Amino acid sequence: MKFFLIAGEPSGDRLGAALMQGLKTLHPGVRFEGIGGPLMQAEGLTSLFPMEELSIMGIAEVLPKYFALKRRIAQSAAAALAANPAAMVTIDSPDFCLRVAAIVKAARPDLPTIHYVAPSVWAWRPGRAAKMAKVIDHVLALLPFEPPYMTAAGMTCDFVGHPVVAEPLATAEQTALMQGDGPLLLALPGSRKAEVTRLAPVIGETLAAIKAVHPNLRVALPTVRHVAPLVRDLSQGWPVAPQIIEDPALKRAAFAAADVALAASGTVSLELAANDCPMVIAYDMNPITYWLMRRAALIDTVTLVNLVSESRVVPEFLGDRCRADLIAPALLALIKDGSAQTDAMRLTMERLGKGGEPPGLRAARSVLKVVAPEGGA
């Protein structure tokens, strides 16, 4: 049995790798083709082209690369059809993945198409579900409240849990590597070059204000391979030299040992919650993109911890509020006492499936149910 997989972001690469592990457990000998990052490649995928080419977000950011992306869409669809897989599984990155799915579905209506990560129609652009249903048969949802939105649009959908609940945490020995004098702050400017470029100066200014109160402040900056050189360059002028971390084990140690985090909006908030690390969320983007998103928003928070726990305990500083003079006081308050977020973080992990079957295995069962309904799992 063969599957064609497409992931376009580091978070999608993690989902894809866990799914591949699950499929190999349930169906030994399964094969893979498609596009993915280092984690999926470690599970046996040879990527059609570098996944990093797809790590773009926002209308203003996409436009300059429109024609290159259009060529990659055509190339990916052609490769999926040539592979003749049991199913095509697209993972997040809907602007790219669903265009590929449209071409594939038009050519092969009988080929099962599965999308991993339900579109956040509960947050903005609710009409996306109906459009997606034209090219996607089945959805793997990360959040427990998402399946009804998908089934109402005409797709089947399973809540499979979020992979963060199954990711390993640091051991006591690993955590000890990050111990030291003074509070430890995690700086997490994101995994896309555009968001790192926008957020890095704000983090630098914020650190100056924190250091004025905590002169022995320490900063750890976990990052991913394709933005690590940019992170090193942009953090050179910060008032506290960060410890830049690419090693996964040391990253886990930093998350476990940190007293507080300043993070870009995204799934990283769930990683922080898994480690009981209080957080402040900050995000800036092209003003046009931000204006359009604000007009389309159906919710008052973008942080998954706030949404899943049905609370608003994680402070957010987005767009024109992404400023050091607003962010620093929130971080200082959390360094003093971050317990207000504890219950929300714990509830979030429970609702995402902590303590149950690993999400990658649940996702694999759901995929096999689609391609082999009579007990294929």
- Report pLDDT digits (tens) over 3-29: 999 999 888 998 999 999 999 999 999
pLDDT of residue 59: 45
Cα 55 from chain centroid (whole Å): 11
CATH fit for domain 2-161+355-371, picks 3.40.50.2000, 3.40.190.150, 3.10.20.90, 3.30.750.24: 3.40.50.2000
DSSP 166: G
> Average pLDDT of the chain?
91
Tens of pLDDT, residue by residue over 310-332, are 999 999 999 989 999 999 999 99
* pLDDT surpassing 50 at residue 89: yes
* pLDDT surpassing 50 at residue 375: no
Average pLDDT over residues 149-158: 96
More confident residue, 258 or 62: 258
Cα 161 from chain centroid (whole Å): 14
Same fold for the pair 2-161+355-371 and 172-351: yes
More confident residue, 124 or 73: 73
Alpha carbon distances (Å) from 56 to 51, 60, 103, 190, 243: 11, 10, 21, 12, 26
As a whole number of angstroms, the distance between CA 50 and CA 128 comes to 27
As a whole number of angstroms, the distance between CA 25 and CA 52 comes to 28
Helix extents (H) in 300-375: 304-309, 324-336, 342-351, 359-371
As a whole number of angstroms, the distance between CA 231 and CA 247 comes to 15
DSSP 145: T
pLDDT of residue 296: 65
Tens of pLDDT, residue by residue over 222-231, are 998 889 999 9
* pLDDT surpassing 90 at residue 266: no
What are the residues whose beta carbons fall under 8 Å from the beta carbon of 42, sequence distance 6 or more? 17
Q: How confident is the model at residue 119 (pLDDT cuts 50, 70, 90)?
A: confident
Place of tokens 């995690």: 186
For the chain, give every domain's residue range.
2-161+355-371, 172-351
Lowest mean pLDDT among 110-124, 283-297, 316-330: 283-297
As a whole number of angstroms, the distance between CA 91 and CA 84 comes to 18
pLDDT of residue 58: 46
As a whole number of angstroms, the distance between CA 373 and CA 140 comes to 16
As a whole number of angstroms, the distance between CA 174 and CA 192 comes to 28
Q: How confident is the model at residue 37 (pLDDT cuts 50, 70, 90)?
A: very high
Q: Write out the DSSP string of 65-121.
A: GHHHHHHHHHHHHHHHHHH--SEEEEES-HHHHHHHHHHHHHH-TTS-EEEES---T
* Percent residues over pLDDT 90 in the chain: 77
The structure's pTM equals: 0.79
CATH fit for domain 172-351, picks 3.40.50.2000, 3.40.50.2300, 3.30.420.40, 3.30.70.260: 3.40.50.2000
Tens of pLDDT, residue by residue over 59-73, are 445 566 778 889 999
375: left (phi over 0), alpha (psi -120 to 50) or beta: left
